[in-house]
DNA sequence: AACCGCCACAACCGCATGTCG
DNA sequence: TCGACATGCGGTTGTGGCGGT
C-alpha cells in the first residue's frame, strides 16, 4: 500500500540537534505530553520530522534516562537477554530502566560484541566460536511444558506438531543455570529457577521462585512483560 | 601541525505493526 | 474488511573526537 512520506523532507532540518531545538521539544512535551509526533514539530515550531522528534525525546531528552557508562551487571544482563531475545532491543531495553533501545544497540555493537568475541563466544549465536556445544547459555524447552509466556513452544493439535510460533528465536539456546532435574538438589542458599525467571520475568504471575536476574541493585523493570 | 584510521554514538531510513474510521 | 495513518523497531549511516604517525 502506498504511503505518504512521514514529513515534508524539503523543509526539515537534519543532523545534530541544537540546544534551542531541544529546549523547544522539551517545553512542548512538558505542556502537551508525548504523542501526536506527526503534528508535534509544527506545534512546537520545529523544522524536524515527527520521527526525528520522537527519537530525540526517547533517546536523549526523557528525564528518566540514565546516562553514563553501563555497569558490569548491566553488561551481563544485556548478554543474557540477548541470548534469549536476539536483536529485540526494545524488549531488552524494557528490562533496563533508564536505558534506551538505541543506546543498548549501539553499546552491543561497539562493546559487548567485542567482549564476547574476546571470550570466544559468537555474539549472534552465543555459542563458542570453536564449535563446541554451548556450555551455559542455551535455551531449551521441556516437551511437557504447555506454553511459555511468549507462546514459543511447540503446540500439539490432534497429535500433530506445529512449528514454533517464534521462528526468529533461536531455540537451541538455553539460559543458565540449568534445571536440576538430573542433578542434586541445590545447595542451601542456592535457588532453582522457574521458567518465568529464566526468561527474566521474575515476579510475574507465573513465577514460582524468587530467582533469576535478581540483581541487588534492583535494576530490573517489568514494565514490558507483555511481549508482542 | 597535518593527515589518517578507528571508534563511539547520534541520527536517519525503510519496513512492520497497531489503530481507527 | 479494508485502507490510511501514526507509531515503533531494527539496521545502517554520518560525523565528531581521539590517538597514532
Mind listing the pLDDT tens digit for each residue in A48-62? Answer: 888 888 888 888 888
Question: Has residue A119 been placed in a domain?
Answer: yes
Instruction: Give pLDDT, residue A28.
Output: 87
Instruction: Give pLDDT, residue A112.
Output: 87
Question: Has residue A184 been placed in a domain?
Answer: no
Nearest residue to nucleotide B13, by CA–C1' distance, is A51
Cell of A143: 516437551
Q: Which domain holds residue A86?
A: 72-128
Question: Has residue A111 been placed in a domain?
Answer: yes
Lowest mean pLDDT among A1-10, A34-43, A97-106, A126-135: A1-10
**Amino acid A3 CA to nucleotide C2 C1' distance, rounded Å:** 15
Mind listing the pLDDT tens digit for each residue in A68-77? Answer: 788 888 888 8
Residue pair A139/A189 in contact (Cβ under 8 Å)? The answer is no
**How, if at all, do strands A174-175 and A137-139 pair?**
antiparallel
**Amino acid A104 CA to nucleotide C1 C1' distance, rounded Å:** 39
Instruction: Give pLDDT, residue A133.
Output: 42
Report the C-alpha gap between A61 and A73 in whole angstroms. Answer: 25
Residue pair A212/A225 in contact (Cβ under 8 Å)? The answer is no
**Closest nucleotide to A58: CA versus each C1':** C8
Specify the CATH number for the domain of residue A52: 1.10.10
Mind listing the pLDDT tens digit for each residue in A11-50? Answer: 678 888 888 888 888 888 888 888 788 888 888 888 888 8
Question: Has residue A45 been placed in a domain?
Answer: yes
Question: Has residue A87 been placed in a domain?
Answer: yes
Mind listing the pLDDT tens digit for each residue in A127-147? Answer: 887 654 444 444 443 333 333
Which of the listed residues A105, A128, A151 is the one where a domain comes to its end? A128
**Amino acid A67 CA to nucleotide B8 C1' distance, rounded Å:** 15
Question: Has residue A98 been placed in a domain?
Answer: yes
The overall pTM is greater than 0.95: no
Q: Are residues A77 and A121 in the same domain?
A: yes
**Closest nucleotide to A109: CA versus each C1':** B8
Predicted confidence band at A218 (pLDDT cuts at 50, 70, 90)? Answer: very low
Question: Has residue A134 been placed in a domain?
Answer: no
Alpha-carbon dihedral A51, A55, A58, A61, rounded to 10 degrees: -110
Cell of A142: 521441556
- A97 pLDDT more than 70: yes
Residue pair A219/A94 in contact (Cβ under 8 Å)? The answer is no
Number of structural domains, chain A?
2
Q: Are residues A103 and A77 in the same domain?
A: yes
Instruction: Give pLDDT, residue A11.
Output: 64
Does nucleic acid strand C have an atom less than 7 angstroms from the CB of A6? yes
> Who contacts A65 (Cβ-Cβ below 8 Å, separation ≥6)?
A59, A98, A99, A100
Question: Has residue A53 been placed in a domain?
Answer: yes
Amino acid at each position: 500500500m502506498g504511503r505518504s512520506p512521514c514529513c515534508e523532507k524539503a523543509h526539515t532540518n537534519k543532523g545534530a540537534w541544537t540546544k534551542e531545538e531541544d529546549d523547544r521539544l522539551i517545553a512542548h512535551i512538558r505542556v502537551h505530553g508525548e504523542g501526536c509526533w506527526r503534528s508535534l514539530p509544527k506545534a512546537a515550531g520545529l523544522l524536524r520530522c515527527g520521527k526525528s522528534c520522537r527519537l530525540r525525546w526517547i533517546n536523549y531528552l526523557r528525564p528518566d534516562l540514565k546516562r553514563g557508562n553501563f555497569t558490569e551487571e548491566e553488561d551481563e544482563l544485556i548478554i543474557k537477554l540477548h541470548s534469549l531475545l536476539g536483536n529485540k532491543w526494545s524488549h531488552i531495553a524494557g528490562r533496563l530502566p533508564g536505558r534506551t533501545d538505541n543506546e543498548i544497540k549501539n553499546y552491543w555493537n561497539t562493546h559487548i560484541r567485542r567482549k564476547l568475541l574476546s571470550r570466544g563466544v559468537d555474539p549472534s549465536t552465543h555459542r563458542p566460536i570453536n564449535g563446541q556445544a554451548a556450555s551455559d547459555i542455551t535455551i531449551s524447552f521441556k516437551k511437557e511444558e504447555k506454553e511459555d509466556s511468549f507462546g514459543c513452544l511447540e503446540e500439539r493439535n490432534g497429535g500433530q506438531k506445529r512449528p514454533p510460533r517464534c521462528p526468529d528465536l533461536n531455540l537451541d539456546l538455553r539460559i543458565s543455570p540449568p534445571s536440576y532435574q538430573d542433578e542434586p538438589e541445590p545447595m542451601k542458599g542456592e535457588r532453582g529457577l522457574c521458567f518465568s525467571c529464566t526468561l527474566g520475568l521474575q515476579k510475574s504471575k507465573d513465577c514460582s521462585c524468587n530467582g533469576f536476574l535478581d540483581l541487588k541493585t534492583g535494576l530490573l523493570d517489568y514494565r514490558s512483560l507483555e511481549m508482542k
